[in-house]
Each structure stands twice: as structure tokens, then as C-alpha cells.
Amino acid sequence: MLFTLAAAISILAVALICVFLFANGLPAMFQIGIPEFLLGTTWKPGSDMYGIFPMIVGSIYVTAGAILVGVPAGILTAIYLSRFAGSRVASVLRPGIELLAGIPSVVYGFFGLMVLVPFIRATMPGRGLSLLAASMLLGIMILPTVITVAKNALDAVPKSYYEGALALGATRERAVFRILVPAAFSGIMAAVVLGVGRAIGETMAVVMVAGNQPVMPNSIFEGVRTMTANIVMEMGYAADLHRGALIATGVVLFVFIMLISLLFSAIKKRGEER
């Protein structure tokens, strides 16, 4: 009974958020025109121009960059923790990773602003506040998610596979990359998808380092604005159609997240079937 109630509350919350988003966002979207809204490249609330294409692209670029940075490092760390690290190293690394997961995103943002951005400004073209900075920072932020989920997947692979490969004369590396990783593939993909979800929804840290110009970036050294940044930066003062357009941005973001979680459950289901 208590469980049913608890479950009902979370479902109710999701339903309410859905209703709120769609009820407020869809009318604005229709008023602007769906193609103009989704594919328009000019965002000028002052002249009633609400094209969020640069922000959609921004979110995708930043997320892709985060994946490029975070996923290889995360998976290699997971492999290291799962098979190579001695218990002493693991006992230092594991709490470190947990701590990484617990750091508030504004603190990450600070780190990005004080360390990453000046570094990029000093060594590369542009002002530092950039797609690159956001990608690198998000890449670090998704590490704990990727590491934890991928490590669980790797740990779940029977030890006998690994031993069987070694017993045939395979090196540890070959046993890991040819037997262990393929056996854990669906779990590792799930780790990537969760990382994507975390990256695309992240707001605070991105706002602090991404530059936030609502235009299509031409290089990784230019600033970008993500959908989340768009909402959080303008919500405070927006009214009427502007406000509706921001909520409609939330609708688009929501659809993205929904697709990601569908993908996640599809991968998980496939993994269980195998």
C-alpha cells in the first residue's frame, strides 16, 4: 500500500511535469510555427524571432564533445578498476570517483571558469569560453556515471571468460578487449547513454563556461548556447510569447531525454535477452 502510494507519487510528478510543459509550450510552438521554431537559426526575442536550431545544435555538439572526452576515459578507468587495479589503488580511486559524483555542478563550473577557460584562452584561439571548454568540463562531469555503470557491467562478466582467454595464451589486454568488453557491451552502451543523458541535461556548469551566444558555432573555439542554458538565462525576465518559447525549448529537451531513456531501456532489454 505504502509502496503503491510512493510509486503513484513519482508517476504523478512525471505526469504533472508533462502536462505543465506541453500545455504551456505547445501553444507557443504553434504560434511561432513548428518549422520556424525548430529549424529557425535566429533567436531574437526583441524582434519576436524564436528559432532554437542553434541551441539544439549546441546541445548536441556539447554532448558529443563530452562523450568524446568522457567515454573513452571512463571506460578505460572502469576496465582498470575492474581487472587491473590492485586493492590498494582501488581503495583510493573508488571514493575519489564517488566524490566526483557528489560535487555540485556550480563547483565544476567554477573549476571550468578558473582553470579550463584561461588555459584554453592562453593556448588556443578564441576567448576560452567555448564549445571546447563546455565539452571538456562535461566530459569530466559524466565520468562517475560512465565509470560506475560500465564497471558494474564488467564486474558482472563471469571471471571464467577472462581466465579462459588467458589460459589460451592471450595477453591481459587481448582478454579484456576481445572477451571482457564485448561480453559487457550492452552494459557499457548503457553507461554511454546515461552519460549522454547527464550531459544533455546539465545546465549550471555549461552556462558558466560555454559563452552562450545563441548562434551556430563555426569552430570548437567559439561559444555555444545549449537548450538548458537558453532557458535558465532568460527565464527570469521573459514574458508572453518569449516565456512560451522558453518553455517550448523545455519541451524539446524533454523529448530528447525521453528518447535517451527509451534507448537506455531498449539496450538493457537486449542485454538481458542475451
Partner 1 sequence: MMQEIKQDARIAPSLPVISETKMGVEELDLFYGEFQALKDVTLDFPKNEVTALIGPSGCGKSTLLKALNRMNDLVDGCRVDGLVSLDGDDIYRDVPVNDLRRRVGMVFQQPNPFPMSIYDNIAFGPRTHGIKGKAELDVIVEQSLRDAAIWDEVKDRLKKSALGLSGGQQQRLCIARALAVQPEVLLLDESTSALDPISTAKIEDLVVEFASKYTVIMVTHNMLQALRVSTKTAFFLLGEMVEAGDTDELFTHPKDSRTADYVSGRFG
Binding site for partner 1 (CB under 8 A): 86-87, 158, 160-161, 163-171, 174, 178-179, 182-183, 274
Q: Which of 183, 193 has the CB closer to partner 1?
A: 183
Q: How far apart are CA 242 and CA 214, in angstroms?
A: 14
Residue 111 or 185: the one with the smaller Cβ distance to partner 1 is 185
| Location of C-alpha cell 584561461 | 118
Q: How far is the CB of 80 from partner 1 (least distance, A)?
A: 16
Of the pair 163, 240, the CB lying nearest partner 1 is at 163
Q: How far is the CB of 193 from partner 1 (least distance, A)?
A: 21
Q: How far is the CB of 163 from partner 1 (least distance, A)?
A: 7
CA atoms within 13 A on the CB side of 229: 29
Q: Which is nearer to partner 1, 119 or 161 (CB)?
A: 161
Place of cell 536550431: 53
Q: Say if residues 28 and 200 touch (Cβ distance below 8 Å).
A: no
Q: What are phi and psi of 223, to 5 degrees?
A: -75, 155
> Minimum CB separation from partner 1 for residue 185, in Å?
10
Which of 30, 177 has the CB closer to partner 1? Answer: 177
Residue with the three cell numbers 535558465? 232
**HEC-encoded secondary structure of 95-159:** HHHHHHHHCCHHHHHHHHHHHHHHHHHHHCCCCCCCHHHHHHHHHHHCHHHHHHHHHHHHHCCCH
Q: Which residue bears the cell 562523450?
A: 67
CB of 273 to partner 1, least distance (A): 12
Give yes or no for a contact between 219 and 244, defined as CB atoms under 8 angstroms apart: no
Question: Smallest distance from the beta carbon of 21 to partner 1, in angstroms?
Answer: 42
CA distance 251 to 254: 5
Rounded to whole angstroms, the Cα distance separating 228 from 252 reads 10
Cell match 553507461: residue?
Answer: 191
The whole-angstrom separation of Cα 137 and Cα 151 is 22
Min separation Cβ 85 and partner 1, Å: 12
Give the nearer residue to partner 1 in terms of CB position, either 47 or 87.
Answer: 87
Beta carbon nearer to partner 1, 10 or 87: 87
Nearer to partner 1, 97 or 180 (CB): 180
Task: In angstroms, give the least distance from the CB of 167 to partner 1.
Answer: 4
DSSP 180-228: IHHHTHHHHHHHHHHHHHHHHH--HHHHHHSB--SS--SSTTS-B--HH
